[in-house]
């Protein structure tokens, strides 16, 4: 990291006279490990716009097979993966139903509407959890008046829901209902690896429930860049056209795909460690816990103090994210080890007064 390019946080991280920060803001902050960088350096590459990059092709084939689908496409980001998927399943003027806190309607800059003329209708759910009974009455059949519901999208695990895992029985019921109602089903699976590791439900079982999935090696798996769309051969051929139209065609992208392959081969099972560390954080701070962590995300309620707390924690070298003025989020990942957890617990308990035994409870 370069001091010149860095205000605030980055400067803090780069300061050689301070211990490196414990960065719990997101699992997107991971940096490639030495072994991953070696795999990137060694990657065999070609022009992926010509579909001639052997490492990209290998990653695509491997991910398609993992999810039990015919094909996959490497794209620069999860946002592009989600939005291309939605466009594959819906025509302009049709609508998508999803949770009101879904990443596709919260953090993707209105892309479905802005780029593809898709409308979205959102349904509130506890921690983003899908419940078929809440969606069925909202589905509009085709007729001369109404907007046609084309897709139901679910997020697994759910980011703003605090890493919550979608109930598998509800997803199975959704698949059956969608087949009967003539709808398509998309999964924003940026963190589907976390759901897989936490539940032992295989990626292929998850894959079998969806028409399209977008999955990200660049979250807790630790790859620097890249996501994949998983679907049928026909849809992936269309996705390739949309990717190029959006400027997402990359050339010698094998250096990035190599990082994704390394992440898949070495960093999936270890997500269990991240889940264990999230539980440790939750236990130490349980007086403020919003809901028990199911995977690698811990959400804490901190009255109106989220911004003050984040600033104070940063001064102590612990970076956290502010979800709202009353809520903070801590995310464990590849670059957070046991020492990082001890340090974060020390700093946050002293700031929050949530130390075990309540020693600091009166302090703030």
The answer to the question of residue 332 lying near ligand PLP (CB under 6 A) is no
CA distances from 345 to 252, 278, 280, 286, 353 (A): 42, 11, 9, 11, 11
**Cβ at position 157, least distance to ligand PLP in Å:** 8
Q: Which residue from 259, 202, 198 is spatially nearest to 39, judged by alpha carbons? A: 259
**Cβ at position 166, least distance to ligand PLP in Å:** 12
Residue whose CB is less far from ligand PLP, 229 or 352: 229
**Cβ at position 338, least distance to ligand PLP in Å:** 25
Q: What residues numbered 192-251 form the site for ligand PLP, per CB under 6 A?
A: 216, 219, 227
The answer to the question of residue 115 lying near ligand PLP (CB under 6 A) is no
Window of 34-42, 75-83, 309-317, 355-363 that interacts with ligand PLP by CB under 6 A: 75-83
Nearest residue by C-beta to ligand PLP? 78
The answer to the question of residue 329 lying near ligand PLP (CB under 6 A) is no
Residue whose CB is less far from ligand PLP, 43 or 190: 190
CA distances from 161 to 80, 195, 215, 233 (A): 22, 13, 18, 32
Window of 39-47, 71-79, 92-100, 144-152 that interacts with ligand PLP by CB under 6 A: 71-79
Residue whose CB is less far from ligand PLP, 30 or 349: 30
Tokens of residue 306, six digits: 């989220």
Residue whose CB is less far from ligand PLP, 39 or 192: 192
Residue whose CB is less far from ligand PLP, 288 or 329: 329
Q: What residues numbered 118-157 form the site for ligand PLP, per CB under 6 A?
A: 155
Window of 34-42, 78-86, 142-150, 336-344 that interacts with ligand PLP by CB under 6 A: 78-86
The answer to the question of residue 106 lying near ligand PLP (CB under 6 A) is no
The answer to the question of residue 190 lying near ligand PLP (CB under 6 A) is yes
Distance CA 356, CA 286 (A): 9
**Cβ at position 216, least distance to ligand PLP in Å:** 6
Q: How many residues interact with ligand PLP (rule CB under 6 A)?
A: 12
- β-strand 212-215 against 227-231: which pairing, if any? antiparallel
Select from 60, 95, 188, 211 the one that contacts ligand PLP (CB under 6 A).
Answer: 188
Residue whose CB is less far from ligand PLP, 105 or 344: 105
**Cβ at position 68, least distance to ligand PLP in Å:** 21
The answer to the question of residue 77 lying near ligand PLP (CB under 6 A) is yes
Select from 25, 69, 87, 103 the one that contacts ligand PLP (CB under 6 A).
Answer: 103
Question: SS in 3 state form for the chain?
Answer: CCHHHCCCHHHHHHCCCCCCCEECCCCCCCCCCHHHHHHHHCCCCCCHHHCCCHHHHHHHHHHHHHCCCCEEEEECCHHHHHHHHHHHHCCCCCEEEEECCCHHHHCCCCHHHHHHCCEEEEECCHHHCCCHHHHHHHCCCCCCCCCCEEEEEEECCECCCCCECCCHHHHHHHHHHHHHHCCEEEEEECCHHHHHHHHCCCHHHHHCCCCEEEECCCCCCCCCCCEEEEECHHHHHHHHHHHHHCCCCCCCCHHHHHHHHHHHHHCCCCHHHHHHHHHHHHHHCHHHEEECCCCCEEEEECCCCHHHHHHHHHHCCEECEEEECCEEEEECCCCCCHHHHHHHHHHHHHHHCCCHHHCCHHHC
**Cβ at position 193, least distance to ligand PLP in Å:** 12
Distance CA 54, CA 62 (A): 12
Window of 43-51, 76-84, 173-181, 328-336 that interacts with ligand PLP by CB under 6 A: 76-84
Tokens of residue 314, six digits: 């940063």
**Cβ at position 69, least distance to ligand PLP in Å:** 19
Residue whose CB is less far from ligand PLP, 53 or 155: 155
Q: Using CB under 6 A as the criterion, which residues of the chain lie in contact with ligand PLP when the complex forms? A: 77-79, 82, 103, 155, 159, 188, 190, 216, 219, 227
């Amino acid at each position: 990291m370069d001091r010149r390019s860095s205000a605030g946080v980055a400067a803090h991280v780069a300061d050689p006279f301070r211990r490196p920060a414990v960065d719990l803001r997101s699992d997107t902050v991971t940096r490639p490990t030495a072994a991953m960088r070696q795999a990137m350096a060694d990657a065999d590459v070609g022009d992926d716009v010509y579909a001639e990059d052997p490492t990209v092709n290998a990653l695509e084939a491997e991910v398609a097979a993992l999810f039990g689908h015919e094909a996959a496409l490497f794209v620069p980001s999860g946002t592009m993966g989600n939005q291309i998927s939605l466009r594959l399943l819906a025509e302009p003027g049709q609508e998508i139903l999803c949770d009101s806190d879904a990443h596709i309607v919260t953090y993707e800059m209105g892309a479905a509407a802005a780029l593809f003329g898709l409308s979205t209708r959102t349904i509130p759910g506890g921690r983003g959890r899908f419940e078929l009974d809440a969606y069925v009455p909202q589905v509009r059949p085709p007729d001369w008046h109404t907007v046609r519901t084309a897709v139901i999208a679910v997020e697994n695990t759910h980011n703003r829901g605090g890493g919550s895992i979608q109930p598998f029985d509800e997803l199975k019921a959704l698949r059956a209902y969608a087949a009967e109602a003539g709808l398509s089903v998309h999964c924003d699976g940026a963190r589907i690896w976390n759901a897989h590791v936490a539940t032992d439900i295989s990626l292929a079982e998850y894959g079998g429930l969806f028409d399209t999935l977008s999955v990200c090696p660049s979250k807790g798996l630790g790859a620097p860049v890249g996501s994949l769309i998983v679907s049928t051969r026909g849809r992936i051929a269309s996705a390739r056209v949309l990717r190029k139209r959006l400027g997402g065609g990359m050339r010698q992208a094998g250096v990035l795909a190599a990082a994704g392959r390394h992440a898949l081969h070495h960093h999936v099972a270890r997500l269990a460690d991240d889940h264990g560390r999230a539980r440790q954080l939750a236990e130490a701070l349980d007086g403020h816990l919003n809901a028990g962590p199911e995977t690698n995300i811990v959400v804490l309620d901190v009255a109106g103090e989220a911004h003050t707390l984040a600033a104070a924690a940063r001064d102590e070298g612990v970076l956290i994210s502010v979800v709202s003025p009353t809520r903070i989020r801590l995310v464990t990942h590849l670059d957070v080890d046991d020492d990082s957890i001890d340090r974060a617990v020390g700093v946050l308990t002293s700031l929050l007064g949530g130390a075990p035994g309540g020693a600091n409870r009166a302090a703030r």
